[in-house]
Every structure is written in structure tokens, then in C-alpha cells.
Amino acid sequence: MTNDYRPVFPAIRMPQFEDQELPDVVTAKLHHPVAPELDDVAAAMRAALEKSHRFAELPKGARVAITCGSRGIQSKPLVVVTAVAWFKEQGFDPFIVPAMGSHGGARAESQVELLAELGYTPKSMGCAIESSMDVTRIGTTSRGVPVYFDKNAAAADAVLVVNRIKAHTSFDREIESGLTKMVAIGLGKAEGARLIHKLGALGYLEVLPEWAAIAINASPIAYAVGIVENADKRATLIEGAEPEDIMAMDARLLPLAKANTPKLPFEQIDLLIVERIGKNISGTGMDTGVVGRADIRGRPSVDNPLIHKLAVLGLTPEAHGNGLGVGLADFMTQEVANSLDLYAMYMNSCTSTFTERVRLPIVLADDKAVIQAAVGTCWQLDGRDARLCIIRSTLHLDQILISPAMAGELGDKGEVVDAPHALEFDSAGHLLTRCPE
């Protein structure tokens, strides 16, 4: 990745907050409903593939494309390598195609790099990775939107769509994030992502399902495998579907996925500190279902929890500077700001059309300056009384830090595991009091 698009911010400190007192914190271990994980992911994947009718009809030597997206899905590398091995046993020639829309700055080579960081390489998977941003037109929606499909996948004899089924970070509907979305936006590549999002919320709510239906009928998609995770991010279900059943399975399994999604057990937080955000954590950098800030014009926004101030302290290395989601925050550190790749951010946000999510919040010198300013503006007269919550990321909610005053609201959803202690910083202003790994 080039550094030509990285900004340089000054180390700004706000003198009125330099003596701002901060609340103590306690460590809280949250209790999420956890469905049992699968005993054998590989066996479950093999069982799903064995049920496919179309793979049973493929001739020896058939080329089969397998989709891989940009999310860090814990079980998926094992799922994909199992599929590769199974296809080879059937006498097929499997290969992987990146199915991630415009991620990686809409560059074919960058999408290969993203896959490598997630564990997908030709060596680890045992097959080639064919990455291209070229697409083939395979139809048109009723609104006149052309339907595109990854050129390499379109040229295959069969396509296996694999994805996690989960809640979308912005929209609440019968089908959200899962196999249908990967067919449309993932395999539609950057052009597909751009066209589907071009109509804003209408594009996702109406164009995407129709686009996916056209692609399923007009492409060589032969089968799909959906993964549902429990609250510990372990696969609790792996299920296959014939092409005509993909959308129905997405809708049927979404409630199960939502029931296993961790949440913060608070209705109101004065200040939420997110230690790190990134595209590998959530499509919006931080899951809006956790932070309660969807903020899409024309769509009702449910602020649950209601968070007065939100601060970001870090960006994951896997994000490669794509800080999509910083626009949801009120404060971020100079370190985060100077690590941003503006081109990747702008490409992603302009493709999605939700440009508000890359607007830059207040940038201050270090963690301490950010936290003091956020506490000083969170609508509490005495900063020591602030309802403070610190999380590693919206993907990691097992153990969090909270103000002692919030401990009584945990109920049966969590327990405090230590005594109140002050937030500590090093001489450079870096926060030392972090959420347990």
C-alpha cells in the first residue's frame, strides 16, 4: 500500500481538559447467550457438500470457484480448505475468488493481500487464487441497473458461495448480511457494490435482493454454505443450500444469528472508548448494532445504547489505513488520524454512498488527551461521575471496563471481577489500562 494518501495531523492538546478528572473503572465479564459450537467444523462442511445435487452432476475436471470475503470469520479458513480438499477428491479443479466488492481500494492485488492476512493463500488453501476486478454483465434489474458478476467466477463450471450469516450493521430486514449479499456485492466486485449502493438505502433494500436473484439464475452458482456463529465467534451451525434456496436460508437463519450476537447491556453511556476499529472487525469499522450509531439519512436511527461521546484509540493493522467508521466517533487520536489511507476510505465510502462515515472527528495528541476531552464534554458536571465504558472492539465484548456506577446495571448479564482502579497512562499519554485479551 502506498503512503501517498496518508494525512499528517499536529499534536493538538486542549488546555481546558488537561486537569480533567476521570472516573475509576472495574473489569466486567459479560454473560452472553452462547449456543454450543460444532464439535467438528470440517465434518460439518463435508456433510453440507455431500448434499449438493449439482456438484454430483459435475464432470471430472470441472473448475469450481469458491468465494472468500474480507471479514475475519474464525471458522472460514477451515471451511474453505475442507471444500478445496473435497472438490479435489471429486476430481474437480477448485480455485478461490476474492468476493469483497470494493475493499482493498478496489485493487485486485490488494484483495489478494487481504485474503492472505485472513489465512487464505495458495499454499494454505491448496489451490490458486484468481483475483480480478473485471466483471461480466449477466442481466438487468427492473430499475434498469445492470447486473455484473466476477469474470473469473462467471467463467467457472460451478461456484460455491460461502459466507457467515449475520445482522447487517445498518439495515434491519428479512435478509441482511450473508449469502445473498456476497452474491450481489461480493461477486459483483467494485462495480456491483457501486451500483447497488448508488440508490442509497433503496439500493440495499430493493436492488440488492433482485440483483442477487438474477445472479443466482444467470451465473454458474451451484451451491452455497452458510455459517452461523455463537457469541464466542465459534461456528454453531454450517448448512448448505441449493441456489434456489439461498435467499430462503438467509432469512431462516438470520434470527438464530441475531440471537447469538453479543451486545452491551446498557441503555445509556456517557463515554464509550473503542480501543480499535477496522474493516476486519466490521464493515463499518465498528458495528453500529453495538455502538448504536447507524446515522443513515432517511432511515430511522435507534440509538441503543444512547452514547453521548464516542472515542477511537486505534486502527487495526489489517485495515491497511481504511478508517471507515471514524465518522461515527467524536474523538480520535493523532496516531489513528496519521495512519489513515484516505484513498481507501474515500473509495469505500463513495462506493457505499454513506460518505458521513469517513468524516473526521476531533483529532487530539494521544489517548489521554482524547479521553480527558471526551469526559469533559460528555454532559457530566464531575468527570469522576461519568458513565464510562471501554471495549477492545465491537467484536470483542467478553470483558470490558466500566465505571463502578454502571456495575449495578449488569444484573445477570455480567459480573465485576476486580476492584475499582484508576486509568493509567504512560509518559507519552498512551492508555495502559486496557481490556483483558
281 or 24, greater pLDDT: 24
Residue 396: what residue type?
A: H
- Residue 409 confidence (pLDDT): 93
Mean pLDDT for the stretch of residues 329-351: 92
Decide if 6 contacts 315 (C-beta within 8 A). Answer: no
Q: Is residue 66 scored above 90 in pLDDT?
A: yes
Per-domain boundaries in the chain: 15-32+262-416, 41-259
The 10s digit of each residue's pLDDT in 154-211 is 999 999 999 999 876 555 666 677 898 899 889 998 888 888 777 766 666 677 888 8
Decide if 190 contacts 105 (C-beta within 8 A). Answer: no
Q: Is residue 1 scored above 60 in pLDDT?
A: no
Mean pLDDT for the stretch of residues 132-144: 92
**Alpha-carbon separation of residue 73 from 229, 352, 361 (angstroms):** 9, 22, 29
Average pLDDT, whole number, for the chain? Answer: 90
The CB-based long-range contact list for 133-139 (8 Å cut-off, 24+ gap) reads 133/106, 133/107, 133/108, 133/189, 133/190, 133/191, 134/189, 135/188, 135/189, 135/191, 135/192, 138/214, 138/215, 138/218, 138/219, 139/214, 139/215, 139/218
Question: Does this model's pTM top 0.85?
Answer: no
Which of 2-11, 43-52, 60-69, 360-369 has the lowest average pLDDT? 2-11
Q: Is residue 410 scored above 60 in pLDDT?
A: yes
- CATH topology for 41-259? Rossmann fold (3.40.50)
The 10s digit of each residue's pLDDT in 364-377 is 999 999 999 999 99
